[in-house]
Structure 1
Amino acid sequence: MEFTYQLSDIESVADKVLENIEHKVVTLEGAMGAGKTTLIKSIAKRLGVSTPISSPTFSLVNEHESDNGDLYHFDFYRIEDEIEAYDIGVEEYFYSDNWCFIEWPERIRNLVPEAHSTVKIEVLENDFRKLKILNN
């Protein structure tokens, strides 16, 4: 699935993403500032998370309770190698059957479960974004 949107439409975009992903492990790909964290915030709200969502850039993972179980938000932008992710126990998170949203998955490509959904965000002109969903 692929569509174009503006950030002002982020709540309906979150609904479309939730309707079209097939896995609870979701990687988000896109340039810095593409809106990955903004989308995760909106999805988390839709899933019943009531606590504030922020990027876990320095902590690597933020944990949130939701109406649909736990939700884990990962940001691997600052890691040096996959061992750092492995050391925080990512495999336990990824195979917990809870929601896992992963920013900068290319930094831990070998640790991402084979069965996952991918959301790719591309920044276009005039504050538009193109979103593509792939289910693996």
Structure 2
Amino acid sequence: MVHKISPELSITYSSLAEIEVVAKQIIDFSGEDKVWIFDGEMGAGKTTIIKAICNQLGVEDVVNSPTYAIVNEYNNGEGESLYHFDFYRLDDQEEAMEIGATEYFYSGDYCFIEWPSKVRDLLPDKLLKIDISITEDNSRLIEVTRYE
């Protein structure tokens, strides 16, 4: 059975100037977890934080939302592959299976997944969940939870 592991990490930031520090905090918290799901409403900043995380992990490629491609692959200077998924346009999980999503998820490589609710049944039990919400003052609240 999947269960939450405590403690959770909670970060609030109000400026994009803080995003690299926030990304580093999430990476430091993540430990060995490589599958990260990002939840938040449209425009909350999922792709923005993924870009900063990729930057902190040494990715030199241009990081863009893979909305139409569904998955983008990036490489860092250490020869690691990182995969960025955007399942927003997916009609059903079958489409994710056709692109081999589960092979990516269980590859041991970083997988950053936007709109994970579209592939909920395909996700591994062990993952990091990053919830992003917009506060009343237009800051972002990020809550990170480890699941095992």
TM bracket, shorter-chain basis: over 0.9
Return the letter of the residue paired with 1:59.
Answer: A
Give unpaired runs (5+ residues) of structure 2. 1-8
Secondary structure of the 1:93 match is helix
Please tell me whether residue 19 in structure 1 is matched to residue 8 in structure 2: no
- Corresponding position of 1:92: 103
* Worse-superposed segment, 78-87 or 123-132: 123-132
Give the 5 Å matches for 1:1-136. 1-6=9-14, 7-22=16-31, 23-68=33-78, 69-136=80-147
TM-superposed CA distance for 1:67, in Å, is: 2.9
Return the letter of the residue paired with 1:37.
Answer: T
Secondary structure of the 2:137 match is helix
In structure 2, C-alpha distance between the alignment counterparts of 1:84 and 1:36, rounded to whole Å: 22
TM-superposed CA distance for 1:10, in Å, is: 0.5
In structure 1, C-alpha distance between the alignment counterparts of 2:67 and 2:27, rounded to whole Å: 24
Give unpaired runs (5+ residues) of structure 1. none
Residue by residue, what CA displacement relative to the aligned partner does 1:69-111 show, whole Å, maximum 9, x if unpaired? 1000000000000000010001111111111000000110001
In structure 2, C-alpha distance between the alignment counterparts of 1:21 and 1:83, rounded to whole Å: 29
TM-score for both structures, normalised by structure 1? 0.96
Return the letter of the residue paired with 1:130.
Answer: L
Shift >3 Å, 4+ stretches: none
TM-score for both structures, normalised by structure 2? 0.89
TM-superposed CA distance for 1:21, in Å, is: 1.6
TM-superposed CA distance for 1:66, in Å, is: 1.0
Percent of pairs identical after alignment?
A: 43
